[in-house]
Each structure stands twice: as structure tokens, then as C-alpha cells.
Amino acid sequence: MTNSTHNAATDVMESPLHHHVAHTNAVDAGVVMTEDKFRGHLNLRGNPQDADFMAAVASVLGMALPTEPNTSVRVNGFVAYWLCPNEWLLIVASGAQGQVEADLRQAVADKGGNQHIAVTDVSSGQTLVNLSGSGLAQLLQKSTVYDCHESNFPAGKVVQTTFAKTGTTMCKLEDGSVDLVIRRSFSDYFFLWLADASEEYGLRIA
Amino acid sequence: MHHIYCPYCEETREEEEYSYTGEAHIERPKDPAAISDEAWGDYLFFRSNPRGIHHEMWYHAAGCRRYFNVTRNTQSYEIHETYKMGELPTVTAQVPTPAPKAAQQGEAS
């Protein structure tokens, strides 16, 4: 009796690190989380009706900014998310944000000088997380108020909404996975929610 | 729960993404020093609080972070329309309340 490794008490108890260690890195995980860390995140604001501004940005990024609500454009490692009619999130290669920011300012200045724009480096305040797997659809149903069905959330669409009540920017990718931009200050909370919500599917950190 | 159409995101979203921010179309006096205390107090504190059609501002806090206007029936909670800042409502009360002025809140950004 004393050499038994199980007893009724520990079978129902949770360790303080329960969510961190109990369900992660399951072999046949239904939810796979990959952090695309240290990418450059730039918040860009400007007037989309201003042809000079749009041309200047396009000359730096090599693509036109998306002007349709809830859309994104992705070219050569640059990703531009539509955030509101005059605001975009640019996600660039790790470490490139300083150069892109300088290039954007220079290009806009070259086009006409005193345009009312803002480029803000927000890289350190948020991170990019990719979620995929067979349990993803159900995980999203539990976690967000947005309707993430394929018919409402097709590839390329960007939605700013709540994920477990924290703010997030979600983008559906061509492969069916979802990119989430989450706040640094909410990352612990996000992960604990993710570990708990994916318990029945298994969670793997790739 | 309301489902509210955001005129900037051009989508209907859950109420959880929004917050209510008070009556719409309240114009700030151009020269506060020139008006009476009573008029300033009316501007600052007094709201119409109607039973029925009400024009109010909502903020898409978790979404595009834009303010916009909503025409809502305070009795039935029905939302008749949502429209951008600077626009005028098309649905108004049967009994005319003071005519809504063009929004002076500007483009909240």
C-alpha cells in the first residue's frame, strides 16, 4: 500500500504549474502554437485619400496598403493589416523595423513634406502567435466572440476583436491557421487561457 | 447582447467589442467664456434622456477604436441605424426634439 504511486488525493489535485506542464507538448496535439517572436511591428497612420502618402508607402513596402476594411496584404515578408480607415499594422522582418520606419518617413517627406502621418514602433509591446491544428476551430469558438467560420473569416481577413476578453488582431492564413497579435502584458494570461482551453485537444508548442 | 454594425469595420460585431459613450450631437460652445453659467452647465451636465429614439455615441474599443453614432430606441433597445461621425441620422423621433446639429466631436482618433 505504501509503495503505490497513486492515491485518491493527488489524482484530483492540481499543482500550481498545472496548466503549464500537464497538457502541453502532447504528441498528437489538436492545437499547435508557434510564436513568431521578435518580428518588427510598426503602427502606421495616414490619410488613405492622400495619393502621395499611399504612393510613398507603396514605394517602401513594395505593395499598396489595404484600404478595404478587415483585409491584409502580404508581400516579400511584409505584412500589412488594415486596422481602421487611417491606420495599419506593418509586420516586418526581425530587426528591420528601424530601417523601415526611417524609409517610410523619408519617402513621405520626399513626396511632399508636411503630411500628417505617424509611424510608431510597437514591436516590444506585442508578439505574433500562430495557432493551427484540428482543434483550432473549436478553440476559437470558445475563445472569441467573433464568428471564425470559413464563410465569415476567409484567408487574408483581419479582425480586431477579443480573445478570452483580451484584445487581439487575428488574421486567417491560406493554410487555415490563424495569426494572432497579442499584447506583451497579456501574454501570460493568453497562454494560461490557451493551455486550459486546449486541454481536451492537446497543446503542442512548436 | 446587441449585435452592432460598425460603419468603419463595415461588419456586425458583438456588443462585447464596444462601449457606450453617451449622447451624440452635443456641440461644444464655440466661446465658453461668453455664455452664461446656466448655458455652460446645460452643455456640461444635462442630457435629453428620451423615452424612445435616442442618438448616442459608441466606441469600437476592441475593434477599430473609432467612435460612431447609433440611433437606438431606449424602450425596445432596437438599434435603427449606425452612422459615422459627422453624418446625420435618418431615423429621428416623431415628436421633434431639438434638431441634431452636425457632430462636433470630430474624427476621434
Kindly report the three-state secondary structure assignment for every residue of chain A. CCCCCCCHHHHHCCCCCHHHHCCECCCCCCEEEEEECCCEEEEEECCCCCHHHHHHHHHHHCCCCCCCCCCEEEECCEEEEEEECCEEEEEECCCCHHHHHHHHHHHHHHHHCCCCCEEEECHHHEEEEEEECCCHHHHHHHHECCCCCCCCCCCCCEEEEEECCEEEEEEECCCCCEEEEEEHHHHHHHHHHHHHHCCCCCEEEC
**Based on the domain organization, do A132 and A76 belong to the same domain?**
no
Position B83 pLDDT exceeds 80:
yes
Residue in A42, A43, A44, A24 with CA at minimum distance from that of residue A33: A24
ipTM of model: 0.85
Give the model confidence (pLDDT) of A9-32 as tens digits: 777 787 777 766 666 777 788 999
Which residue did the predictor score with more confidence, B50 or A112? B50
Q: Are B70 and B58 in contact (CB under 8 A)?
A: yes
Cβ distance A162 to B17 less than 8 Å, yes or no, reads yes
* Distance from the B79 Cα atom to the nearest Cα atom in chain A, whole angstroms: 20
Position B104 pLDDT exceeds 70:
no
Cα(A161)–Cα(B18) distance, integer angstroms = 10
Q: What is the pLDDT of residue A190?
A: 95
Residue where one domain finishes, among candidates A101, A123, A145 = A123
Q: How confident is the model at residue A5 (pLDDT cuts 50, 70, 90)?
A: low
Give the model confidence (pLDDT) of B15-68 as tens digits: 999 999 999 999 999 999 999 999 999 999 999 999 999 999 999 999 999 999
Give the model confidence (pLDDT) of A134-157 as tens digits: 999 999 999 999 999 999 999 999
Residue of A45, A84, A122 to mutate, interface with B, max B Cβ within 10 Å: A84
Residue in B19, B3, B17, B24 with CA at minimum distance from that of residue B83: B24
Domain total in chain A: 2
A194-198: average pLDDT:
91
Q: What is the pLDDT of residue A175?
A: 95
Considering the entire predicted model, what is its pTM? 0.85
**Based on the domain organization, do A142 and A188 belong to the same domain?**
yes
Residue where one domain finishes, among candidates A105, A123, A141 = A123
> Closest to A83 (Cβ–Cβ): which among B10, B17, B64?
B64
The domain of A200 spans 25-36+125-205
A87-95: average pLDDT:
95
CB atoms within 10 A of CB A121: 14
**Based on the domain organization, do A147 and A188 belong to the same domain?**
yes
In a domain, A16, yes or no: no
CATH code at position A190: 3.30.1360.120
A76 CB near a chain B CB, below 8 Å?
Answer: no
In a domain, A18, yes or no: no
Q: What is the pLDDT of residue A23?
A: 64
Cβ distance A146 to B13 less than 8 Å, yes or no, reads yes
Which residue did the predictor score with more confidence, A116 or A77? A116
A189 CB near a chain B CB, below 8 Å?
Answer: no
Alpha-carbon distance values, B70 to A10, B27, B57 (Å): 55, 17, 6
Please state, rounded to an integer, the average pLDDT across all residues of chain B: 87
In a domain, A8, yes or no: no
Q: What is the pLDDT of residue A182?
A: 96
A13 CB near a chain B CB, below 8 Å?
Answer: no
In a domain, A52, yes or no: yes
**Based on the domain organization, do A131 and A96 belong to the same domain?**
no
φ, ψ (nearest 5 deg) of residue A44: -120, 130
**Based on the domain organization, do A130 and A92 belong to the same domain?**
no
CATH code at position A73: 3.30.70.1520
Cα(A143)–Cα(B80) distance, integer angstroms = 30
What cell does B27 get?
A: 456641440
Kindly give, in sequence order, each residue whose CB lies less than 8 Å from that of residue A20, ignoring residues fewer than 6 positions away. A195
How far is it between the farthest Cα atoms of chain A?
A: 83
B62 CB near a chain A CB, below 8 Å?
Answer: yes
Domain limits, chain B: 3-84
Cα(A130)–Cα(A176) distance, integer angstroms = 11
A84 CB near a chain B CB, below 8 Å?
Answer: yes
Distance of CA A25 to the CA centre of its chain: 21
Cα(A40)–Cα(B32) distance, integer angstroms = 46
**Based on the domain organization, do A166 and A110 belong to the same domain?**
no
Q: What is the pLDDT of residue A116?
A: 87
Please state, rounded to an integer, the average pLDDT across all residues of chain A: 90
**Based on the domain organization, do A117 and A151 belong to the same domain?**
no
Q: What is the pLDDT of residue A13?
A: 80
Q: What is the pLDDT of residue A114?
A: 65
Q: What is the pLDDT of residue B97?
A: 47
**Based on the domain organization, do A136 and A181 belong to the same domain?**
yes
Position A173 pLDDT exceeds 60:
yes
Position B86 pLDDT exceeds 50:
yes
Q: How confident is the model at residue B108 (pLDDT cuts 50, 70, 90)?
A: very low
Domain spanning B3-84 has what CATH number? Answer: 3.30.2270.10
Cβ distance B64 to A84 less than 8 Å, yes or no, reads yes
Residue where one domain finishes, among candidates A67, A95, A123 = A123
**Based on the domain organization, do A165 and A66 belong to the same domain?**
no
Position A206 pLDDT exceeds 70:
yes
**Based on the domain organization, do A158 and A108 belong to the same domain?**
no
In a domain, A9, yes or no: no
Q: Which residues of A touch B17 (CB under 8 A)?
A: 145, 161-162
**Based on the domain organization, do A78 and A133 belong to the same domain?**
no
Cβ distance B109 to A86 less than 8 Å, yes or no, reads yes
**Based on the domain organization, do A29 and A47 belong to the same domain?**
no
Cβ distance A160 to B62 less than 8 Å, yes or no, reads yes
Q: How confident is the model at residue A77 (pLDDT cuts 50, 70, 90)?
A: confident
- Portion of chain B with pLDDT greater than 70, in percent: 85
